[in-house]
């Protein structure tokens, strides 16, 4: 995952990529539990800054050890700054939106990202929308809706602003992925791409910090360990792996696996936090699995 060689872009994902994406989405599902534990000690904005600083320091150390070039002039500063800004805005909108709506609404709306990638990729990446891919994404999203259906507010009072901000966060997430795929960021190391993103998250977080209510809530062992898990494992490892894959496989196929992340989050919440679990999780997993099979298989392009 290091070095300066130009990655080979594949036309579809293979079994290795599919297995890695299941592994990543499971890791991100565990991260929901870690974040929930962390909130007892730190505000969401402080967590965003803290895990970005921790992860960024580790990635810098890794790059120094492995000799990954970071400061060579490669023409990526402008697009890197743009990707970082989008990444930072995504998290800011997610956190502000979460304060104004339910967790279920926020999770569902943020994870509309694959639909935005499918749409943007059709026009900007040359990843044409196929009938099979569109049907697969629809099935996967139906599984996500089934998972959270009885928890969705659906009301227009109070939560509307939070819902809109959450939806916009999903759009910025997709847009940052498209910027990476379309620009010269796809031809540099995954580590350098991630550092651009983390710098953006830190900058946007620092701007938002004065508006944060109580940045530090309580200092205890469990929230600190949860923060370290997010900074070390999620940011420094899983995000590098994600950007490495994004440079080598079609964005629309990879991002369809993101639908698994909130479902794994519910499973991990039941396992580690004792949260209630019912039969909807199995319906959701069946629909999502069927959708991912359709998305992952190459299909014929739609006419036009």
Does the pLDDT value for residue 2 go beyond 50? no
Query: Three-state SS across the chain?
Result: CCCCCCCCCCCCCCHHHHHHHHHHHHHHHHHHHHHHHHCCCECHHHHHHHHHHHHHHHHHHHHHHHCCCCCCCCCCHHHHHHHHHHHHHHHHHHHHHHCCCCHHHHHHHHCCHHHHHHHHHHHHCCCCCEHHHHHHHHHHHHHHHHHHHHHCCCCCCCHHHHHHHHHHHHHHHHHHHHHHHHCHHHHCCHHHHHHHHHHHHHHHHHHHHHHCCCCECCCCHHHHHHHHHHHHHHHHHHHHHHHHHHCCCCHHHHHHHHHHHHHHHHHHHHHHHCCCCCCHHHHHHHHHHHHHHHHHCCCCECCC
- Of 130-134, 141-145, 187-191, 277-281, which gets the smallest average pLDDT? 277-281
Q: Any residues with CB less than 8 A from the CB of 12 and at least 6 apart, and which?
A: 249, 250, 253, 296, 297, 298
Q: Tell me the whole-structure pTM to 2 decimals.
A: 0.77
Highest-scoring range by mean pLDDT, 91-105, 201-215, 283-297: 201-215
- Of 89-93, 122-126, 275-279, which gets the smallest average pLDDT? 275-279
Give me the pLDDT at residue 120, please. Answer: 85
Phi and psi (nearest 5°) for 90?
Answer: -55, -50
Contact yes or no for 51/227 (Cβ under 8 A): yes
pLDDT digits (tens, 9 = 90+) for 89-119: 998 888 777 667 766 667 777 777 887 887 8
pLDDT digits (tens, 9 = 90+) for 31-69: 878 888 888 898 888 988 999 999 999 999 999 998 988
CA-closest candidate to residue 102, choices 158, 46, 146: 158
């Amino acid at each position: 995952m290091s070095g300066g060689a130009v990655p080979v872009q594949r036309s579809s994902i293979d079994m290795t990529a599919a297995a890695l994406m299941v592994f990543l989405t499971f890791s991100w599902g565990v991260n929901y539990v870690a974040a929930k534990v962390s909130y007892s000690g730190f505000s969401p904005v402080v967590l965003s800054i803290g895990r970005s600083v921790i992860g960024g320091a580790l990635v810098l150390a890794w790059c120094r050890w492995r000799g990954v070039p970071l400061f060579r002039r490669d023409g990526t500063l402008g697009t890197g700054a743009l990707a970082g800004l989008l990444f930072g805005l995504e998290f800011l909108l997610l956190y502000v939106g979460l304060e104004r709506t339910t967790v279920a609404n926020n999770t569902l709306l943020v994870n509309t990202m694959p639909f935005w990638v499918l749409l943007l990729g059709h026009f900007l990446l040359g990843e044409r929308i196929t009938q099979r891919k569109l049907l697969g994404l629809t099935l996967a999203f139906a599984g996500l809706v089934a998972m959270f259906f009885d928890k969705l507010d659906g009301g227009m009072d109070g939560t509307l602003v939070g819902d809109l901000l959450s939806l916009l966060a999903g759009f910025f997430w997709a847009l940052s992925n498209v910027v990476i795929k379309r620009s010269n960021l796809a031809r540099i190391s995954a580590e350098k791409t991630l550092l651009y993103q983390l710098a953006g998250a830190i900058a946007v977080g620092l701007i938002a910090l004065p508006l944060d209510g109580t940045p530090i809530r309580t200092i205890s062992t469990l929230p600190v360990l949860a923060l370290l898990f997010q900074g070390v494992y999620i940011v420094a490892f899983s995000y590098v792996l994600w950007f490495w894959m994004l440079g080598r496989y079609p964005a629309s196929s990879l991002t369809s696996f993101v639908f698994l992340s909130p479902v794994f989050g519910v499973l991990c919440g039941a396992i580690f936090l004792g949260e209630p679990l019912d039969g909807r999780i199995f319906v959701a997993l069946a629909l999502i699995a069927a959708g991912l099979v359709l998305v992952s298989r190459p299909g014929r392009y739609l006419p036009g």
